[in-house]
A and B are shown apart, each in its own frame.
Chain A
Amino acid sequence: EVQLEESGGGLVQPGGSLRLSCAASGFTFNSHWMHWVRQAPGKGLVWVSGIHSDGRSTTYADSVKGRFTISRDNARNTLYLQMNSLRAEDTAVYHCVRGTITWKGIDFWGQGTLVTVSS
C-alpha cells in the first residue's frame, strides 16, 4: 500500500524558514517523480514543486522560485521541501504527491501538513 506521511509543518513568522519532510513507503521511491502541492485554507490546489526520481532535475512554481528548495534522499525514501523567506500567502496545507511512471501525472497524495505564516 502506497503511503506518504508529511511532517514539519507549524506556525512560523513572516520571513522565517521551515523544512517539510515526506516519508514514503509501499512503492519503489527512487522510480518516481515526487511533488509538493499546496492548498490554502478553503481554497483550491496549487502545484508548488517537483523533483525527478534521481534528484538531478527540479522544477518550481514562479511564486516560490528562489525561496523554496525541493530535495530527496532515496536511501531514506524521504522527500523534503526547504521553505525560506516565508510569506503570509504561503499559509496552506502542503501535500506530498507521487508522480506516475507509465503516464504523465500524479496519483497518490499524503494527508498534508499545515504551514501557517503569521506574526
Chain B
Amino acid sequence: DIVMTQTPLSSPVTLGQPASISCRSSQSLVHSDGNTYLSWLQQRPGQPPRLLIYKISNRFSGVPDRFSGSGAGTDFTLEISRVEAEDVGVYYCMQATQSPHTFGQGTKVEI
C-alpha cells in the first residue's frame, strides 16, 4: 500500500495569516493515464470529512479560493492564503492512484 505522510501534524495558525500543509507519498502518484489522483479533505470538529481539492490542484464545488493545492510526483502541498475561524479542523491528504485508497495521518489546524 502507498503510505502518505503529512507534516506538520499540528499547526497553530493566526487568523488572516497563511498556512501550509505538506504531504509526501511513498511512491509516485502519477497514474498510468497520466493523471495524479491526490486529494485534500477537511474535517471540522464533529463533522464528516469534506472534499476540498482533487487531482492536486482542482478546487471542489463550493470550496473558497483561499484554498489551493500544488505539487507533483510524491510531494504535495495544501495552502490556505488567509486563515479564517471556520478553517479550524483536521486536514487529510488522500491518494486514489493505486488501490487501496490511503490517507495521511491528518494535520490539526488550530487558532
Residues of A within 8 A of B (CB): 35, 37, 44-47, 50, 59, 61, 95, 100, 103-112
Q: Could you tell me which B residues sit within 8 Å of A by CB distance?
A: 31, 35, 37, 39, 41, 48-51, 54-55, 60, 92, 94, 96-97, 99-106
- In the complex, what distance in Å separates the CA atom of A112 from the CA atom of B50? 13
Separation of A107 and B59 alpha carbons in the complex (Å): 12
| Contact across chains for B101 and A35 when beta carbons are under 8 A apart | yes
Task: Give Cα A103–Cα B50 distance, bound, in whole angstroms.
Answer: 17
B41, B100, B105: residue with the most chain A Cβ atoms closer than 10 Å:
B100
A105-B37 Cα distance, complex, nearest whole Å? 7
Tell me whether A47 and B101 are in contact (CB under 8 A): yes
Q: Are A103 and B48 in contact (CB under 8 A)?
A: no
Interface pairs (25), CB distance under 8 Å: A37-B101, A44-B92, A44-B106, A45-B103, A47-B101, A47-B102, A50-B99, A50-B101, A95-B48, A100-B54, A103-B35, A103-B37, A104-B35, A104-B96, A104-B97, A105-B37, A105-B55, A105-B101, A106-B39, A106-B94, A106-B101, A107-B51, A109-B50, A109-B51, A110-B48
CB A102 to nearest CB in B, in angstroms, measures: 10
Asked if A112 contacts B51 (CB within 8 A), the reply is: no
Contact present for A59 and B100 (CB under 8 Å): yes
